[in-house]
Amino acid sequence: MEIILDEGAGFCFGVERAMRMTAETTTVSRDRVVTIGPLIHNPQVIEELKKEGVEVVKEDADVHNAVAILRTHGVSPDVEQRLRQESSQVLDATCPYVKKSHQYADLLRREDYHILIIGDQNHPEIKGLIGYAGKRVTVINLPEEAENLPHFPKLGVIIQTTYPIEKAQKILAKLVGRITELRVFNTICDYTSDRQIAAAHIAGKVQLMYVVGGRNSANTSKLAEICRQKGTPTRLIEVPDEIDERDLENVERVGITAGASTPEVRIAGVIERLEQIATARALVR
């Protein structure tokens, strides 16, 4: 059985930065260490951080006498302000791409644009971004939703960092010609775009695709969606034990990619498990 791996898969630089900041903090801090919401969207990593003494708390939690670490997805400015007033220290682990989105939202608000956010309104990244956008903001997630938007004299667009670029292009195409003044900031993360392109390429070459990462991760779920759109059977798994050998019957080429919050050790574990299955089958033959 041939295994084709996206060599760029695994932690993005924003996640690596957040993990490094958290590890360094737990080493030196005498105060309790908390993250405002899960630091990243990978359940196994969050459990490992808990064993190191890192608590996950809600945005409105009591953070007195605690070091508060802002999650990679960011928080609203109101939440950050309260944390800075109440906690012993705030460490900002927000992804730099998300921080750039915050800056663009603040700029558009000050320049009197109605702000359109393309993304999942229930995702923590978007919830935090709305806080920077102010009251004149609309969130849509599907191209067909763009058709129902009213006319705006000035519309500024910001895109969720993990949003599929092809879907974003479809939405933008519906806006061009309808809006008098349209200003678009492409805030899609380069790493995310590269992984989506690579996943589609690999999915087109294999009989079965594994996407490794947290089921609560937006970028991981979108990778699986892209692979399925290629017509390739796709399994989203968090750990190697979830591999079902029955899926591999008569499969000669398997593809692997992973979300931005998936550690390399987890990807290596999936490869090792697939190699074990392939070796056992070769012995039987």
Positions annotated as catalytic residues are: 125
DSSP string covering 138-155: EEE-SHHHHTTPPP-SEE
What's the CA gap between 39 and 33, in Å, rounded? 12
Q: What DSSP string describes 46-81?
A: HHHHHHTTEEEE-TTS--BTEEEEE-TT---HHHHH
Residue found under tokens 């009989």:
207
φ, ψ for residue 203, nearest 5 deg: -60, -30
Q: Give the angle subtended at the CA of 147 by the CAs of 144 and 148, to the nearest 5°.
A: 105
For residue 39, give the nearest of 281, 217, 215, 191 by alpha carbon: 217
E-state strands within the chain: 2-5, 32-36, 54-57, 66-70, 89-92, 114-118, 137-140, 154-159, 181-185, 208-212, 234-237, 253-258
